[in-house]
Structure 1
């Protein structure tokens, strides 16, 4: 399917690896010019090189933490009139909520709620004026299904979801949409670390731990960054203008709900 995105400009945050990179690849495949972001400049450069060579689109790199206002400014300077914004950021590490002091709480909320809102504020009016805009926020299945130890991440992302639910309705008539994609268990560096930790704790191999985790997923496997990116790209497409304010769960059926 032609997504109608050839020549569109996209900012994809935290896109040097994992799910963010999957989104960047899918948008490049659809013909988008990209501004990529990541904290590790070396990995970011490698991702940008692969995309340039693989798809022949323009790719600009902006290294740094997207929660830093200076890095946000560089992103917007590199792409002052984006058609697409994919918000993504790392979440706080697993930690019992009793261990969270005020500084840690505020940092988590800044990462996963304040930062995407700041970027949306910067681009949404321009999108509305031009009559096209697609904003996709990568959040987490934990918004719906609590995960002990990820309370701060879940709370901040749930706050973002509620905040944007009303905002999405104010710009839909200008062909600007805001949606979220909620990943379950995907084969990324982050989950690989979790698998290794769980395997060591249980005294089994990483392969056995992965099979154990996959057995609880109806699809019986971890998701791939590629298929995640394709779903994101559709929400960014010219065909998705009637989809807004929604939360798309991508989890292989893990979350047990009929609605």
Structure 2
């Protein structure tokens, strides 16, 4: 399928590894110019070079913490007139809620709620003026299904959903959409931390915890980042203009609810 994205410009946050990189790769494959971001300059440049080689796309890299105002400004300046924003940021490490002090709570809220909102504020009016915009926020399956140890991550991301749900309806008539991707357990670096926390909580080794995790997923496996990237690219496509304010759960059937 031609996604109708050739010549579009996409900002993809936290994209040197994992799900962010997969989204950047698929958007590049669809014909977008990509502006990537990551804290580790060396890893980011390596990812950008790999995507250029694989897709032939123009890829620019802006290193730094996406929560910093200067990095945000540099990212948006590099994009010029962004048509697509993929909001992504690493979640706080899994830990019990009793272990969270005020500083940790505020840091989690800033990274996973405040920062993506600030980025939306900076790009959305231009999208409205140009009558095309796609904003995809990567959050977590824990928004729908309780995951022990991810209380701070879940709380911040639920807040992001609530804040942007109304914004999505406000700009829908301008062909600007805002949607959410909710990943379950994917084969990324983040999974290692989740499995380490699970192993400690269960009193088992990491391999056993991982095996138990797979068994709880109806698909009996962890997700592959490329699958996630493809879903992101579709939500950014010209054909997805009638989908907005929605949360797409990608978890191999792990969530047991009907809705």
Identify the TM-score tier after normalising by the shorter chain: over 0.9
- Correspondence list, 1:81-96, <5 A: 81-96=81-96
State the partner residue of 2:98.
Answer: 98
* Residue 212 (structure 1) aligns with: 212
Please identify runs of 4+ aligned residues in structure 1 that moved more than 4 A.
196-205
CA distance in structure 1 between the partners assigned to 2:147 and 2:227 by the alignment: 24
Aligned equivalents of 1:209, 1:101: Cα separation in 2: 28
Contact 2:95 2:197 in 1 (8 A): no
Quickly say closer, same or farther: Cα 1:215–1:64, change in 2 above 3 A.
same
Q: Contact 2:195–2:206 at 8 Å: present in 1 too? A: no
Partner of 2:35: 35
Residue 174 of structure 2 is matched in structure 1 by 174
Q: How far apart, CA to CA, are the structure 2 residues paired with 1:66 and 1:120?
A: 13
CA deviation map 1:69-116 (0-9, x unaligned): 111011011012100000000111112222222221111110000000
Matches within 5 A, 1:186-201: 186-196=186-196, 198=198
- Give the equivalent residue in structure 1 for 2:48: 48
Post-superposition offset of 1:196: 4.9
Q: Which moved more, 1:208-217 or 1:40-49?
A: 208-217
2:62 is paired with a residue of what secondary structure? strand
Query: Is the 2:37–2:61 contact (alpha carbons within 8 Å) kept by the matching residues of 1?
Result: yes
Contact 2:34 2:58 (C-alpha < 8 Å) held by counterparts: yes
Greater Cα offset, 10-19 or 95-104: 95-104
Deviations 1:113-153, CA, capped at 9 Å, x for gaps: 00000000000010010010000000001111122221111
Runs (5+) with no aligned partner, structure 1 = none
Distance in 1 separating the partners of 2:239 and 2:226: 20
Which residue number in structure 2 is paired with residue 138 of structure 1? 138
Determine the structure 1 residue equivalent to 2:123: 123
Gaps of 5+ in 2: none
**1:170-222 superposed Cα distances (whole Å, 9 cap, x missing partner):** 1100000000000001010110343356557745462x443321110011100
Do the aligned residues in 1 keep the contact of 2:165 with 2:245 (CA within 8 Å)?
yes
Shift of the 99–193 alpha-carbon distance from structure 1 to 2, 3 Å rule, reads closer
Structure 2 CA distance for partners of 1:237 and 1:109, relative to 1, 3 Å: same
